Amino acid sequence: MSWRIAVAVASLLLLVTAVASAFVLLRAGGPSDPISKAAAPFTYDLTGWEVRHLLNRWLYKIGHLFDDGPSTDEENERLQRYFTLAPEVASLERELTAAGEESLQSTLEERREEQQRLENKVEAILEKRVSAVVEDEGLTTSLPLFSKVRFVFPPLDFEFDQPPRLLVISPRERISLDRSILLRRGLTGEQVTALEDETAATGVSSLVVNLGGIATYPSTVPQYDSYEDVLETVAHEWLHQYLFFHPLGSHYFDNEALRTLNETVANIGGREIADLVQQRFPLPPSSFVAADGAHEEPHIDFTAEMHDLRLEVDRLLSEEKISEAEALMEEKREFLAENGFYIRKINQAYFAFHGLYGDTPASSSPIGPKMLELRRLSPSLGDFIRSAAEITSEEELDRLLAEREAESLTPP
């Protein structure tokens, strides 16, 4: 892709992101709304983030457009070092908090500086690797009059950064993601608790959650410890950007079913793209071992526990037993903590957010199993994503599934 096309694409995506951001903010409610008013001091400056990062990212790309680039072995050396530094930095931060020794501070600063020097190079390597798999799966487009020239769109672009947090609002009497507001990073525990209490006082279920990534442009991806986790998040967020230019993604905010359809496709596709990248570009695991060593394996099935809880909470709420449902969620939270799974708060808002991912235990939606079945019946990952991108309702998913099932029964 020439630099002119790259700049044009970047400009287009900046416009798209600005419009989408405005759309999300409009949905958050006016300044007189009690929930918006409570969240106002903590809201995230998405436009400012875009202005700071988008131009810098594309200037870096243009500056290295004609570089030969490192060999695969050199790429792996950079990745290996980067993913060794990530857990080392996290471990040093924990030790510094506990001990406060100046020698640790100096070591931590050195590791952070080294990590920062590698960051752009690592981002470029991962973008190239994910792009190669996406292209192999046929998730490409072309320009008018140049149909033979195909390229990945939107171009893979992400930034290692801490994502914002999200205020999630659900009614107490049912599980539904009624509202969500992006919050700035760095909120203290006291600020989070105060915000949740103030918004819950309006009669709703409220929860501040951490985001595992966000499909800004560039995507915001945390500095995870592992190659695998970063690849999956990069692929997941890119799929949201890809879907935005197709019916499924452009209708994301229409209703909860469409949000679940989108998130489930991104979950399934993101995992598989990450797996394909690792098969094609394997990377040995990090050699760093944290000082606290290995943890004892849990003795309970978290997936089964959470799925059963979700179904029971749905039943209680359908019978208007709100207090009983809330007591059950707190009881289960304490049980999970005793068995090695710490969740700060489980309430209706928790399930409203995590239940959007239809292939997870927090969901009781039939969309997850249906999407997994569509993937099973699809000849390739690319075919699955292209087909799913065109649907705009669960009914359309049902029709597509019926067609695929009929095709599978037809002899060749």
Q: Is 221 helix (H, G, I), strand (E, B) or coil?
A: strand
Put simply, whether the predicted model's pTM sits higher than 0.85 gets the answer yes
* Displacement of CA 118 from its chain's centroid (Å): 23
Strands 158-160 and 219-221: parallel
d(CA 320, CA 36): 28
Q: What pLDDT was estimated at residue 326?
A: 98
Cβ neighbors of 16 (< 8 A, separation 6 or more) are: 217, 244
Q: What pLDDT was estimated at residue 92?
A: 84
Q: What pLDDT was estimated at residue 100?
A: 59
Q: Which amino acid does the sequence have at 208?
A: V
Question: What parts of the chain have a pLDDT lower than 70?
Answer: 1-32, 55-68, 97-102, 286-297, 412
d(CA 374, CA 384): 7
> What are the extents of the domains in the chain?
3-161+215-280, 165-210+293-354
Structure token digits, residue 110: 């050195």
β-partners of residue 183 are 43, 165
Q: What pLDDT was estimated at residue 63?
A: 62
| DSSP letter for each residue of 149-193 | EEE-SSPP-EEE-PPPEEEEEEESSS----EEEEE-S---HHHHH
pLDDT one-digit tens code per residue, 234-271: 999 999 999 999 999 999 999 999 999 999 999 999 99
Gyration radius from the chain CA atoms: 22
